[in-house]
Every structure is written in C-alpha cells, then in structure tokens.
Structure 1
Amino acid sequence: MAEPVFHEYQTREALAEALAAGVAAVLAGAIATRGSATLAVSGGSTPKLFFKHLGRAEIEWKNVEITLVDERWVPETSDRSNHALVRRHLLNGVASAANLLPFYTGHETPEEALDDLKHRYCRVARPFDAVILGMGTDGHTASFFPGADNLDAVLHPDGHDEVAAVRAPGAGEPRITLTLPMLVDARLLALHIEGEEKRAIYGEAIEGDDVEAMPVRAVLKARRTEPLNVFWAP
C-alpha cells in the first residue's frame, strides 16, 4: 500500500490553485487519451475556492462528466443541495459545458431511488480520472459516517454496488453516496482539508485502525498503486 503524500500550502488560495491545476491536468490528459474524462467532487464550504479556480481551466469541458461523491436527499432548490453548490461555484464560465450527473431523483427516499441510481452509475466510466474528497471533524468522508446504518457495506473493498443509501446520526438528512470501491480506484485521489483542527484529526486517523470510529481511515489505508494525495492549508 502506497503511503499518503501530504501537500502543505501556506494559504487556502495557494492550495486551491495547486489542486485545480493538478485536477485540470489529469482531466486534460484523459480527454487527450480517451476523448472524455470523469470527475467526482465533494460538497460543503471547503471546496468553493477550488471550484472557482478549476472552473477557469481551459480544457474541453464538453467532454467532462462530473458527479458528486455524495448528496443529501434534498432537491436542487434546497440550500443544502451539493448539486446546486457545484453548479453555482464550478459550472460557470467555460466549465458550464461539462455534464453534471445528479443524484437526487425526486423519489421520496434515497432507498426508493437505488435501482435507478445503480443503473445510472454502472454506466459511468471507471476508474474516475479524479476524485476529490473532504473530511468532517467526526472523521467521516463522502457519506461514510460513524454509526451509519450500513457502514460495513459501503466500506467493503470488494463490494459491487456503485451507490448506497445512508442514514446516520451525524448526517442530518438521509444521504446517497458512492461506495468505497468507486472512489479509491481513481487515477487521482485527493483529500482536501483545511485548518489546524482537521490536520489534527487527519493525524489521528492515519495513526489508528478503527474504521468504524473514523471511516476516513478506509480511504487512507485503501490498497492503491498510486498514493492518496492530501492537500492541506491552515
């Protein structure tokens, strides 16, 4: 297993620029090689600056398919929608030509949508060219929450489901998430974290083995040919 590579930046602006440049280069390379590229991104407030820089990249966005790593089960009109956040902060300017694949289907619950979503995501080209993850202060990433009702299934390294519905005490709304195997085989896998608190949590996660207590450990310790890249700024 390749050990994670830790990239430290003096400012969040510098981090966003570097991460965006790296992701853009991977996407451009995939387009040049295969004619298309795939990208999975996380929601929340942390990636907004990264989205701004990435959205300015002069690549063939019409050949890029973007999806979310996970989503709250809310419509795009909700201020809790990650889909709306990505559309607002990434898909503007030249990047508006990209195809953004939604999770939310309008079903009452994510469980009711699973068959449709599995059919949708089984057709997404794998592995993803780039996957950008975040991390919560509880040690979750994607919707891999401590205490989630089906954590063992979504973290199973040999699982065959592309997506899973998740309910957890710390999740707020019910969620839908890509499973661990869908994420960790990405050509570029990055963990984007900011602030001293999250650096300390990352240090705790990398030193321990209890995945149920800190599910991000499943990503940090996944078997990969290329290392996970951790991007951090104060």
Structure 2
Amino acid sequence: MNLQTFSDSNALNQAFAQQLLTILSTAIAERGQATLVVSGGRTPLALFSTLANTELAWDKVTILLADDRYLPTSAEHSNERLVKANLLQQHAAKAHFISLYAEAADAFAAVPQILPRVAALPTFDAVILGMGEDGHTASLFPCSQQLAAGLADDAPAVLATEPTSAPYQRISLSKARLLDSRHIFLHLVGENKYPVLQQALADTDPMEMPIRAFLQHPSISIDVMYAPQ
C-alpha cells in the first residue's frame, strides 16, 4: 500500500487527475485504448469534473463502474446517472461507457446480460475504489450473503449482491476482476475515513472488512489517495 496524503480534496483531485490522465494517455499510446473503472457516491464528483474538463483522446477510453445499485439508469440513486451527469461531459463526453444495468426481474436475473459486457474487457488500466465506514468496497459488503462468492479468486467478473445494511440490490464487479488492473486506487476524503483505514490495516479478515482483500493483497500494491477534508 502506498498512502498519498493531501491537505484537502482540491489538492487531492488535482494530483489524482494528473496521475489518471498520465495512465490513460500511456495506455492509449501503447495499446490504442484505455479502460477506467470508477466508483459512485459524492467523493469523486469534483474529480469527475476535473477529468471531464481535460483534453484527452477520450474516444479511445472505456469507462465503467465498479458497482451500481440495481435501479433504472434514470433513478436518483443510480451511479450510472451520476457518472453520466458528472464525468461523461465536456471533453469526456466522447468516452465509451459500459452499463451495469439490464432490465430483468431483479439484479440476479440481470447478471447473465451484464456479465459478457465486462468479461470481454482487457486488463483495466486504472480502478478507483471507494470505502464505506463498514469496510465495504464496490458492492462487496460484509453483511452480504454473496460476499464469499465475490471475494473468491475464481469468481466471475460480475455478480449480484443484496446487502442487509444498505438499500437496493446491487451489481458489483468481483474482487478478481477489479484486481485485474495495472493501477488500483482507493479514494478517501474525510477525517472519519482514516480510522477505518487503520482498522482495515490492523487485521487480515476480508469477510469482516472486504477492503482488506485489496489493501493487504500479497502481490498487488494499492495507492491510497487521502484528504481529511
């Protein structure tokens, strides 16, 4: 783990955006395309705006979410709606977006339609994870009966989860698919997140705090981007 600490979220976002743009530009130069995985919520909104207003060969960039609530894409709490409104704007409007939504009876029934979209993608160039105060990341919740399946090394790229401590069924990328990335970041803003990070580093059980499966992976180093405010 590599901890990068910033005075505030503005400083973090400027530095983070530059790191991401370098990664994406390098990928495009070397392989002709780039793939970026983002997370929803309030934390990345300013970062999204900074990226959207920066010139890049966005038509060669594919963007998808690490997870989403199983809701129509027009719903208020849809992460897809948030990404389209804040990241896929300005210059970044040219990027290709892969949805984690498909119309079905429920999230579990939707997985067969969504799985091929994600399974066909190459190794990601950058993954941006978030972390809840319970130690969940993506929609891999400690309260979910699907957690063990999502953390399994041989898990499919996508699975449905049903947390008991948060609303809505979810569609989430699995640990194995998220780890298949050249760069992995954990984006944390707020003084309340630092004790959670310390707790996650203090023990090893990912079933208690799923973020541990990423922070304490034996062969993959994660960049933690942290600002107290």
Question: Same fold by TM-score, threshold 0.5 exceeded?
Answer: yes
Q: Which amino acid aligns with 1:49?
A: A
Counterparts of 2:112 and 2:168, CA distance in 1: 20
Instruction: Give yes or no for the alignment of 1:218 onto 2:213.
Output: yes
Corresponding residue for residue 178 of structure 1 = 173
Secondary structure at 2:208 match in 1: coil
String of CA shifts for 1:131-156, please: whole Å, max 9, x gaps: 00000111100011012111111001
Distance 1:18 1:185 in 2: 24
Letter in 2 for 1:217: R
Structure 2 portions without partners, runs of 5+: none
Which whole-Å CA distance do the structure 2 matches of 1:170 and 1:45 have between them?
19
Q: 1:42 aligns with which of 30, 39, 43?
A: 39
Cross-structure match for 2:7 = 10
- Correspondence 1:140-151 to 2 at 5 A: 140-151=136-147
Report if aligned partners of 2:186, 2:225 keep a CA contact under 8 Å in 1: yes
Q: Do residues 155 (structure 1) and 147 (structure 2) align?
A: no
Q: Counterpart of 1:190 in 2: which secondary structure?
A: strand
TM value normalised by structure 1: 0.95
State the SS of the aligned residue for 1:6: strand
Residue 178 of structure 2 aligns with an amino acid whose one-letter code is: L
Q: Does 1:60 align with 2:60?
A: no
Asked if the contact 1:143/1:171 (under 8 Å) is kept, the reply is no
The one-letter amino acid paired with 2:84 is: R
1:228 to 200, 217, 222: 222
Q: Aligned residue for 1:205?
A: 200
Mapped partners of 1:91, 1:130: distance in 2: 17
Partner of 1:92: 89
Percent of pairs with identical residues: 37
Q: State yes or no: 1:32 paired with 2:29.
A: yes
Instruction: Give the 3-state SS of the residue equivalent to 2:192 in structure 1.
Output: helix
What residue is the counterpart of 1:107 in the other structure?
104
Post-superposition Cα deviations, 1:49-106, rounded to whole Å, max 9, x if no partner, equal 1111111221100000000000000011111000010011111100000011111112
Q: Does the aligned pair in 1 maintain the 2:68–2:80 contact within 8 Å?
A: yes
Please tell me whether the aligned partners of residues 6 and 12 of structure 2 are also in contact (alpha carbons under 8 angstroms). yes
User: RMSD value over aligned CA atoms?
Assistant: 1.0
| Alpha-carbon contact 1:6-1:232 (below 8 Å) kept | yes
CA contact (8 A) 1:184 1:224 kept: no
TM-score (norm 2): 0.97
Contiguous gaps of at least 5 residues in structure 1? none
Query: Using the alignment, how far apart are the partners of 1:59 and 1:171 within structure 2?
Result: 36
| Residue pair 1:191, 1:230 contacting (<8 A) in 2 also | yes
Q: What is the alpha-carbon distance in structure 2 between the residues aligned to residue 54 and residue 28 of structure 1?
A: 13
